[in-house]
Amino acid sequence: MHEDARLAALRGFGVLDTPPEAAFDRITGLLADVLDVPISLLTLVDAERIWFKSVVGIAEREVDRAPGFCDTAIRMTGAYVIEDALTAPRARRNPLVTGELGVRFYAGAPLRTSDGYTIGMLAALDLRPRRLEARELRVLEQLADVAMEHLQLRREVRQAAASKEAVERAYLKLSEGFEETVQQRTAELAHQAQHDHLTGLPNRVLLEERLERALASATRHGRALAVLFVDLDGFKHVNDTFGHTAGDHLLQQVASRLLASLRSSDTLARVSGDEFVVLIPEVKRPDDARDVALALLAGLGEPFSARGHDVTLTASVGVSVFPKDGPDAAAMQRHADAAMYAAKDAGRNRVCFYRGAHEAALFEEEP
């Protein structure tokens, strides 16, 4: 790394020691929300210090460069992740780790100029060890790209304007347009973080958010709700026979058919390869959940198409009903999952209701 050239590139942006700016604060705020971390930083690595252009979660505006996380990170070719700082020899000497804050996790994506110099990092920090999913890493990298685009545009405005008044006019115009761009990219990234890339359905993150809200509403108004776990029967055989590309196409068809059996107020989420979860936010009686479950199975009744062949798919459905089957989201999902496995054990292609941990004979009904 040519440090003198890197520092010259950094200072060419004219951003060190400038006041906070809404566009950068929006990026760090979104990063903290999407990755569910208490601290997020947009850092610029100067000669002797790491300065924070935008920060969420701590009061500091800069730290010494060594032994800072970002000092190590800028030497990497891509993102830099420390799952547990106490097990990383250099990181565990960092004052953010050894001090009162007690940082344990760091993930940073580089702010890289068009000529290849890394001038800083967009970073997420947590107070507990954790792993970063591939989806979360993509969000971090894309937000870093958004931040770098704004830094570059900001520099172009400074270079193009010949007077303070011209700078202010041009920057105001740029900021208005960039705010709109940031809002659009923010919405896109938030959607990616909460939806399954293959089917477009809500993923587990969004499902649990909606389930928590539905449980709070049901408790407040004295209503019942239902959670249905839907697991395709023998789907591995489909992948082994026709290949994963055909299997992905079938999952998209399955998602469409399941959606067609639900109301707009219901949520259908894909939570793993061939497993879907349905949230019915209001049921007046258990038969309502049974009727929905049977409709889902009936919707899968017609053959699917895979590489010109007809493929018959069935599913096993487990149902839990709030409040009798669990007081919270974790219990409702766990008990619907248990009922789904009971449906598998009973012969598949059927619906089972949860009836308690020690009751072997769950209610079951075939379509």
Tell me if the pTM is above 0.75: no
Nearest Cα neighbor of 187 from 70, 331, 52, 26 is 26
Count of residues in the chain? 367
* Sign of CA pseudo-dihedral 45, 49, 52, 53: negative
What's the mean pLDDT in 153-161?
Answer: 75
Backbone angles phi, psi at 221, to 5 degrees: -105, 5
Beta bridge partners of 110: 121
pLDDT in tens, 284-305: 987 899 999 999 999 999 999 8
Q: Which helix (H) or strand (E) holds 112?
A: strand 105-112
Beta bridge partners of 351: 317, 365
Beta bridge partners of 363: 353
- What CATH number does the domain containing 82 carry? 3.30.450.40
Mean pLDDT across the stretch 145-169?
A: 76
pLDDT tens-digit series, residues 76-95: 889 999 999 999 888 888 88
- What is the pLDDT, as a whole number, of residue 367? 57
Task: Identify the pLDDT of residue 195.
Answer: 92
Do 156 and 239 lie in one domain? The reply is: no
Task: Specify whether the backbone of 222 is left (phi greater than 0), alpha (psi in -120 to 50) or beta.
Answer: left
Do 236 and 167 lie in a common domain? no
Among the residue ranges 30-34, 186-190, 234-238, the one predicted with the least confidence is: 186-190
Shared-domain flag, residues 12 and 71: yes
**Given this model, what pLDDT does residue 228 score?**
98
The residue assigned the tokens 């020899």 is: 89
Domain assignment of residue 144, yes or no: yes
Considering the domain boundaries, does residue 132 fall inside one? Answer: yes
More confidently predicted of 170 and 256:
256
Digit-coded pLDDT (tens) for 201-229: 999 999 999 999 999 999 999 999 999 99
Last residue of one domain, picked from the residues 139, 169, 194: 194
184 and 239 share one domain? no
- 341 part of a folded domain: yes
Examine the fold and report which residue of 194, 215, 231 is the final residue of a domain before the chain moves on.
194
* CA distance linking residue 266 with residue 203, whole number of Å: 14
Residue 264 domain-assigned (yes or no): yes
> Does one domain contain both 324 and 243?
yes
46 C-beta neighbours (distance < 10 Å), count = 17
Same domain, 127 and 186: yes
pLDDT band for position 350 (cuts 50, 70, 90): very high
Which of 151 and 173 is assigned the larger pLDDT?
151
Please enumerate in sequence order all residues whose Cβ is within 8 A of that of 12, keeping only pairs 6 or more positions apart, or say none: 155
What's the pLDDT score for residue 1?
55
The number of domains in the chain is 2
Secondary structure element (H or E) that encloses residue 26, with its range: helix 22-35
Measured distance CA(52)–CA(62) in Å, rounded: 6
pLDDT, one tens digit per residue, over 182-198 is 777 777 887 888 899 99
Query: Which sign does the torsion angle of CA 293, 294, 296, 301 carry?
Result: positive
Task: Please give the helix or strand (H or E) that residue 228 lies within, else none.
Answer: strand 224-232
Residue 45 and residue 180 in one domain? yes
Mean pLDDT, the chain, rounded, equals 89
Residue-level pLDDT at 360: 37
Strand order in the sheet with 105-112: 62-64, 49-56, 39-45, 118-126, 105-112, 80-82
In this prediction, residues 247-271 reach a mean pLDDT of 95
- CA-CA distance, 287 to 315, in Å (whole number)? 19
Mean pLDDT on 6-13? 92
Q: Is residue 327 part of a domain?
A: yes
* 124 compared with 65, residue with greater pLDDT: 124
Are β-strands 275-283 and 267-272 bridged in parallel, bridged antiparallel, or unpaired?
antiparallel
Both 124 and 254 in a single domain?
no
> Position 277: which residue type?
V
Give one DSSP letter per residue of 226-273, joined into a string: EEEEEEETTHHHHHHHH-HHHHHHHHHHHHHHHHHTS-TTSEEEEEET
Q: Is the pLDDT of residue 272 over 50?
A: yes
pLDDT at residue 65, as a whole number: 86
Has residue 361 got a pLDDT over 60? no
Among 320, 317, 316, 330, CA closest to 356: 320
Q: Are residues 163 and 308 in the same domain?
A: no
Residue 199 lies in a domain: no
Q: Which of 152, 174, 194 is the last residue of a domain?
A: 194
321-339 average pLDDT score: 95
Q: Which CATH number do you get for residue 230?
A: 3.30.70.270
- For residues 143 and 58, membership in a common domain is answered with yes
What proportion of the chain, given as a percentage, has pLDDT over 70? Answer: 91
Q: Above 80 in pLDDT, residue 255?
A: yes
Please state, in angstroms and rounded to a whole number, the distance separating the CA atoms of residues 337 and 230: 9
Determine the structural domain holding residue 70 and report its residue range. Answer: 3-194
Q: Are residues 174 and 212 in the same domain?
A: no
In a domain, 295, yes or no: yes
Confidence of residue 356 (pLDDT cuts 50, 70, 90): confident
The pLDDT of residue 359 = 46
Check whether residue 27 and residue 140 sit in a common domain: yes
Q: How would you classify residue 94: left for phi > 0, otherwise alpha for psi between -120 and 50, otherwise beta? A: beta
**Angstrom distance (rounded) from CA 304 to CA 255:** 12
State in Å, rounded, how far the first CA of the chain is from the last one.
66
Q: Does the residue 22 lie in any domain?
A: yes
Joined tokens for residue 67: 């032994």
Q: Is it the case that residue 69 has pLDDT exceeding 90?
A: no
